[in-house]
Structure 1
Amino acid sequence: MKIISREGDSLEYYSLLFQIPLELIQDANPQTKKEKLLSGFEVKIPGFMLQKETEMSMETAGRVYQLPLDALYLVNGVRQSMNSPFLIPVRLIKPLIKTEKFYSSASLQKDLELLSTYYPFMKVETIGHSVLGKDIVEVQFGRGDSVVHYNGSFHANEWITSAVLMKWLNELLLSFTNESSSFLHLYQRVNISIVPMVNPDGVDLVVLGDRAAEGKFNVRHINEGETEYYGWKANIRGVDLNNQFPANWQIEKERKLPKAEAPRDFPGEIFLSEPEAIAMQQLAERRNFSKVIALHTQGKEIYWGYEGHEPEESERIVKEMERQSGYRAVRYVDSHAGYKDWFIQEFKRPGFTVELGKGINPLPLSQMPAIYREAVKILMVGLLL
């Protein structure tokens, strides 16, 4: 919701008027530095939408919606009652987006635009581009020094992980604008980083079919003539992005089959050859993550170690994840070159690969409610410990 400031008002006053934490209003309006505002400036108030009222008087609407009259005067640009119609600021108390759908890169873009409109304290930045030039975006919010990072859809046919992260994002934003001081404390203590879709080209190939390749890659040939791409994990070039990182990459290169572009497992001719992997490496180095949680499917397991580089605190965190979710914690597996592997090796900080759900990828949307109930417990442990 946007309002126009009045002479002498302040962001603190707007915080009290709309019962929205001051920190959220400040972060939604970073250009507004003065304690007292001049008139005529646009101010964003997160967590509200405007609704037209044609039946009630302004005084009645204030009582019905439990709003101070000055909030109505401010929104409508007057200091006294006015004739209908007028606008009422309505607090958002339900999620804005629907994620129980085949979740493409277009779905992600549309949902992020909607959330950014109503929760402008959330920053959305492009961190790189896919092979086909699609934006790879990071969502970030919070004021803490500890930067906790989450990502989804490294693998194309695991796109349900993007839907899970976006559903959780919407619920977090609702909590920050509606819940108790405990959520405000979390906002002050942690900086949250989310890359919902690392592999937008690959996701679109699985969800939309051949046309997602835009005629630039012979994906059907790579897919051995098959026109369905349910088994496709790679990016649009046929490189597995979660086999692209310099953590014993050469071992994977030597032992992996196939030896050329394929729907899955091919680690590339060299490590970090793909723009999506490069974007994720550079983001970690730039943002200096305290912790990384990468969502994959399937298996209901949490992998948390790599070659003995993991810190002691990782075990404490994963045990709580295990307890909360019922997933099985696995310290070591015979696998290298993954994003979590590289992060643990390079930063010596907690990193986790979470395999959501059970079945055959892509997991069906019918599993989404159960997967989300389990996942949200793991995601929250990542913030709280």
Structure 2
Amino acid sequence: MDLVIQPGMTYYQIARLFNIPLQQLIEANPYTDPNALRVGQVIKVPNYIKEEYWIQPGDTLWKISQEYSLPLERILATNPVNSYQLRIGDLLNIPKRIYDNILTFNEPYTSDRLEEDLFKLVNLFPFLTLREIGQSVMNKPIYEVTIGEGDRHIHINGSFHANESITTSVIMRFLHDYLLSLSSNEPIRGIDMQNFYNSITLSLVPMVNPDGVDLLNKGLPEDAEFQDLVLEINQGSTNFNNWKANIRGVDLNNQYPANWEIESNRKRQQPAPRDYPGPSPLSEPEAITMAELVKNNDFERVLALHTQGKVIYWGYEGLEPPESQTIVSEYSRMSGYTPIRYVDSHNGYKDWFIQEYRRPGFTVELGRGTNPLPFEQFDEIYEETLGVFLVNLNV
């Protein structure tokens, strides 16, 4: 919500008046000097929207404040008007705290809808940071959203694989519920999310593979060159349910330099809907983007969400640190998923992270069935995964 600064206003006064943490207010206005507010300046107040109200006969500001159960001072702060000169038909902006659901989760995401929802959340909760960290083969943006101010930096991503886009919905639902919890001061499963916010800086990339996700959830691309390419790779079929790869037929989770040569020799040797590691490690822009994200940030752990199997892979070649076992035990306890330390597999994102940084990395396989999992499983999968997200506060 935009707020016009009136004489005497300070950040501390505004935070107290709107019952929001001072630091959130400051972070919502990164280009404003909190010690040099000017009358007439516009700042963002997170967690609020404006509801329009037209003055009726007999109205007073006090009466309106009682009807909306709001402090009179909050209405005055939002409307620089003279309370003695109200006229019938004048417009007032009523500051309304956000308690209700903002987004809907009744169908799989496309890249366009993801972008729309991310922009909506950032507009309502401007202490979020949204940035484009790279682009796909088809030049679609790959977004990272960060939230929190803690010293612990944790990264979570989804939709490395095209037919696993339910993971994008899980990440977005958690972000949505997290923000509503901060706005309403209501805990999630008994956890104070303001404490989560103060302790953890969370990095989220909801959709690593926008081209592949759109191929499944929207159909053939409009670009004739890519239409011909994917039809050739898919042997003429327009059924893309088995498609895991990016639009060029490269499996993005087989792109990382962690014994890449082993997988390259035993997996597909040319572009395919799945299991082609590419011509070389990090040949694809999406894989490069995710590698650069790690290199430029001090993540203490990473979680890559995939489907399916209800298992959590957590080791690689004995390079994982001892605390990984403690962490995965808690993930398992909260989700009911089975921890698996080693499998005969290489060159995945978490493999590379463990190898390069000797820090905890996890591949969490959500749900059970055949990919793409039916969206009817979403609510169940979300509740299972929510425990994994929340337990990061304590381990």
TM-score band w.r.t. shorter chain: over 0.9
Cα shift at 1:173: 1.1
Cα shift at 1:78: 1.9
Q: Helix, strand or coil for the counterpart of 2:293?
A: helix
Alpha-carbon distance in structure 2 between the residues aligned to 1:323 and 1:373: 13
Match of 1:41 in 2: 41
Contact 1:309 1:344 in 2 (8 A): yes
1:165 aligns with 2:171: yes
Contact 1:70 1:79 in 2 (8 A): no
Cα shift at 1:80: 2.1
Cα shift at 1:213: 5.3
Alpha-carbon distance in structure 2 between the residues aligned to 1:214 and 1:15: 53
1:239 aligns with 2:259: no
Runs of 4+ in 1 over 4 A off after TM superposition: none
Contact 1:259 1:266 in 2 (8 A): yes
Match of 1:320 in 2: 330
Task: Output one character per residue of 1:167-195: Cα deviation in whole Å (capped at 9) or x when no partner.
Answer: 11011111222226932222122111000
Q: Helix, strand or coil for the counterpart of 2:225?
A: coil
Q: Helix, strand or coil for the counterpart of 1:266?
A: coil
Picking from 60, 65, 75, the partner of 2:63 is 60
Task: Output one character per residue of 1:180-228: Cα deviation in whole Å (capped at 9) or x when no partner.
Answer: 6932222122111000000000000011111255533510110111111
**Aligned-partner residue type, residue 289 of structure 1:** F
- Where does structure 1 lack aligned partners over 5 or more consecutive residues? none
Match of 1:266 in 2: 276
Alpha-carbon distance in structure 2 between the residues aligned to 1:64 and 1:328: 53
Match of 2:213 in 1: 203
Alpha-carbon distance in structure 1 between the residues aligned to 2:17 and 2:185: 16
Match of 2:265 in 1: 254
Match of 1:288 in 2: 298
Cα shift at 1:318: 0.7
Picking from 99, 115, 139, the partner of 1:133 is 139
Contact 1:8 1:38 in 2 (8 A): no
Match of 1:384 in 2: 394
Alpha-carbon distance in structure 1 between the residues aligned to 2:149 and 2:49: 25
Match of 2:202 in 1: 192
CA pair 150-383 structure 1, distance change in 2 beyond 3 A: farther
Alpha-carbon distance in structure 2 between the residues aligned to 1:70 and 1:253: 66
1:96 aligns with 2:102: yes
Q: Helix, strand or coil for the counterpart of 1:126?
A: strand
Alpha-carbon distance in structure 2 between the residues aligned to 1:45 and 1:214: 45
Alpha-carbon distance in structure 2 between the residues aligned to 1:176 and 1:331: 35
Picking from 97, 106, 111, the partner of 1:105 is 111
**Aligned-partner residue type, residue 81 of structure 2:** V
**Which segment is superposed worse, 108-117 or 61-70?**
61-70
CA pair 119-323 structure 1, distance change in 2 beyond 3 A: same
1:78 aligns with 2:81: yes
Cα shift at 1:333: 1.1
**Which segment is superposed worse, 72-81 or 176-185?**
176-185
Aligned residues: 384
**Aligned-partner residue type, residue 182 of structure 2:** F
Alpha-carbon distance in structure 2 between the residues aligned to 1:45 and 1:33: 15
**Aligned-partner residue type, residue 162 of structure 2:** A
Alpha-carbon distance in structure 1 between the residues aligned to 2:290 and 2:101: 28
Alpha-carbon distance in structure 2 between the residues aligned to 1:384 and 1:273: 37
Cα shift at 1:100: 2.0
Contact 1:156 1:232 in 2 (8 A): yes
Task: Output one character per residue of 1:232-276: Cα deviation in whole Å (capped at 9) or x when no partner.
Answer: 0000000000000001111000011x2100000000010000000
**Aligned-partner residue type, residue 365 of structure 1:** F
CA pair 101-40 structure 1, distance change in 2 beyond 3 A: same
Q: Helix, strand or coil for the counterpart of 1:384?
A: coil
**How much is the aligned-residue C-alpha RMSD, in angstroms?**
1.5
Alpha-carbon distance in structure 2 between the residues aligned to 1:176 and 1:110: 21
CA pair 180-211 structure 1, distance change in 2 beyond 3 A: closer
Contact 1:9 1:36 in 2 (8 A): no
Alpha-carbon distance in structure 1 between the residues aligned to 2:15 and 2:301: 32
Contact 1:128 1:276 in 2 (8 A): yes
Contact 1:301 1:355 in 2 (8 A): yes
Q: Helix, strand or coil for the counterpart of 2:201?
A: strand
TM-score using structure 1 length: 0.96
CA pair 214-117 structure 1, distance change in 2 beyond 3 A: farther
**Which segment is superposed worse, 226-235 or 140-149?**
140-149
Q: Helix, strand or coil for the counterpart of 1:33?
A: coil
Cα shift at 1:383: 3.8
Identity %: 46
Cα shift at 1:79: 4.8
- Where does structure 2 lack aligned partners over 5 or more consecutive residues? none
CA pair 79-321 structure 1, distance change in 2 beyond 3 A: farther
Alpha-carbon distance in structure 2 between the residues aligned to 1:183 and 1:376: 13
Contact 1:296 1:355 in 2 (8 A): yes
CA pair 333-185 structure 1, distance change in 2 beyond 3 A: same
Contact 2:199 2:393 in 1 (8 A): no
Q: Helix, strand or coil for the counterpart of 1:192?
A: strand
**Which segment is superposed worse, 175-184 or 239-248?**
175-184
Alpha-carbon distance in structure 1 between the residues aligned to 2:224 and 2:94: 45
